[in-house]
Amino acid sequence: MFSGLQFSSLIRAGFGVCLELSTFQRSSVRSRSGLLAENLFLRKQLAFYQERQIRPKRLTDAARFSLGLWSKFCNWKSALVIVNPETLIGWHRRGFNLFWKLKSRAGRPRLPKNIRQLIARMVEENPTWGQGRVADELALNLGIRVSPRTIGAYWPNLPDSRGPSSQRWNSFFRNHTRSMLACDFLVVVTAGLRQSYVFVLMDIGTRTIVRCNVTGHPTAAWTLQQFREVLPSEHGYRFVIHDRDSIFSASLDEEVKRSFGLRVLRTPVRAPKANAYCERLIGALRRECLDFMIPSGERHLRSLLKEWVAHYNQSSPHSSFDTGMPESSNLLPLPSCGRHTLPEGSRVMARPVLGGLHHEHRLERFLSANPVPPPAIPVLAERGGTQLKTPRPVLVVDTREQNPFDFSRFEG
């Protein structure tokens, strides 16, 4: 509460006051005539100093406290010489404030540290809650009874707070992820040093690439036609997100809203994270395809993108789906017998994508090269009785999507 310097000065003032009190006690047992004579003697010396105009030294805290204390027992206005009356009244007020400050030093005890941290955590995780809502949540669900005013005393100062009625952009995404589309353009330079523009439209809820097309001259009319070709008359989308590129003009936004009922959300200026899902998709497109390919023209680029989009939607694992895929495939992995073993009667087949840049791996069943012989069938013998006749094994070869240079199927 006090610094080291303030505490040392307070100790010195207290020691000086004690000396003054001891002097007062010794003077109380003296005779009245002796005290009057001493008072007149001191007043004479003080008058001498006033005549010589000798400036006294600066008073200490103990001297100020003593003058303020003894002024309660005499007519101090007629006896005050070294300072003005207003100065002495100011000393009285400072002593009064110090007295109540020391008396109210204990106050109400602070909340435990874990409760203070819990309040700060609840405020950060729920930006729309107020002090009363946080207090009710603590009382009803956790059994911690704290008044809303106490909650306000430990309210954290959030630099990005926008008021009690706002929500974070991530919260808006999570609440409307199943009804949101995101689109953007990226530039690709062909072998002829010409720029081609790739339009990408994705479903944020399923991470599926809904539309991917190429043009050399992107316009608002061409972009609107991409929406018309991919969106049916009845769809469940409500929002579409794009940046502030000049291609996405105001007329395009109005037509999208009127024709498809989509509310256009423009990202803030220089805020690519507002359209993070589409930006990450474009990054994956460059890292997995365009960084390794030099398209000869728009037609070649369109064929490359078509193959990569099919691979992305049907075979590429996504961390947001717990390494699942946006679109379910018909060739599902077979159940495995263990964590590190393949099922019996199956093998791994790899299908090249983009000329072998990527491969899609699948498990396929195949007939064993050493089949188990069929059971013996009892037949009638020529001379009576029965005998066991074992038919000859027939080798069946599955030639669907097999490597023509794999001769292991002809063994046995």
- The whole-angstrom separation of Cα 120 and Cα 38 is 67
Q: Please report, as a single letter, which amino acid is at residue 307.
A: E
CB count within 10 Å of CB 403 equals: 10
Q: Output the pLDDT for position 10.
A: 62
Q: Output the pLDDT for position 346.
A: 79
Element (H, E) at 181: strand 180-189
Check: CB of residue 389 under 8 Å from CB of residue 377: yes
DSSP conformation class of 46: H
Residue 159 sits at φ, ψ, to 5 deg, of -70, -25
Q: Output the pLDDT for position 143.
A: 87
Query: 200 - beta bridge partners?
Result: 184, 212
- The whole-angstrom separation of Cα 241 and Cα 344 is 48
- The whole-angstrom separation of Cα 172 and Cα 128 is 13
- Angle, CA 73 vertex, CA 38 and CA 19 arms, to 5°: 65
State the alpha helices, DSSP H only, in 59-195: 61-70, 76-79, 85-103, 113-125, 131-141, 148-153, 169-175
- Domain boundaries along the sequence of the chain: 12-103, 113-157, 177-321
pLDDT tens profile 191-233: 999 999 999 999 998 889 999 999 999 999 999 999 999 998 8
The DSSP line for 277-311 is HHHHHHHHHHHHTGGG---SSHHHHHHHHHHHHHH
- The whole-angstrom separation of Cα 389 and Cα 398 is 28
DSSP conformation class of 227: H
- The whole-angstrom separation of Cα 111 and Cα 146 is 9
Element (H, E) at 42: helix 32-52
Q: Are strands 346-353 and 358-365 parallel, antiparallel or unpaired?
A: antiparallel
Alpha-carbon dihedral sign for residues 395, 401, 405, 406: negative
4: its two tokens: 């080291």
Residue with tokens 């983009």: 354
Residue with tokens 């001493």: 38
Residue with tokens 């005013």: 149
Strands (E), 304-357: 346-353
CA 56 to chain centre: 65
Q: Output the pLDDT for position 259.
A: 92
Tell me the CATH architecture of domain 177-321: 2-Layer Sandwich (3.30)
CB count within 10 Å of CB 171 equals: 14
- The whole-angstrom separation of Cα 376 and Cα 386 is 12
- The whole-angstrom separation of Cα 401 and Cα 395 is 18
Check: CB of residue 23 under 8 Å from CB of residue 62: no
Reference 169, options 263, 256, 238, 241; nearest CA is 241
Q: Output the pLDDT for position 363.
A: 78
- Angle, CA 192 vertex, CA 187 and CA 196 arms, to 5°: 20
Query: 363 - beta bridge partners?
Result: 348
Reference 211, options 198, 195, 230, 193; nearest CA is 230
Q: Are strands 358-365 and 377-380 parallel, antiparallel or unpaired?
A: unpaired
Element (H, E) at 58: none
71: its two tokens: 């002024």
pLDDT tens over the chain, length 412 residues = 555 555 566 666 666 667 666 766 666 666 677 666 667 666 666 666 666 666 767 777 677 777 776 676 676 666 676 777 787 778 778 877 877 777 776 667 888 999 999 999 888 888 778 888 889 888 888 888 999 999 988 988 866 555 444 567 677 777 788 899 999 999 999 999 999 999 999 999 888 999 999 999 999 999 999 999 999 888 889 999 999 999 999 999 999 999 999 999 999 988 888 899 999 999 999 999 999 999 999 999 999 999 999 999 988 877 766 545 566 554 545 555 666 677 777 788 888 999 888 888 887 877 655 555 555 545 444 444 444 444 454 444 444 445 544 545 445 4
Which whole-number Å values give the CA distances from 182 to 271, 295, 317, in the listed order? 15, 25, 20
**Cα torsion at 108, 109, 110, 111 (round to 10°)?**
-110
Q: What's the longest Cα–Cα distance across the chain? A: 165
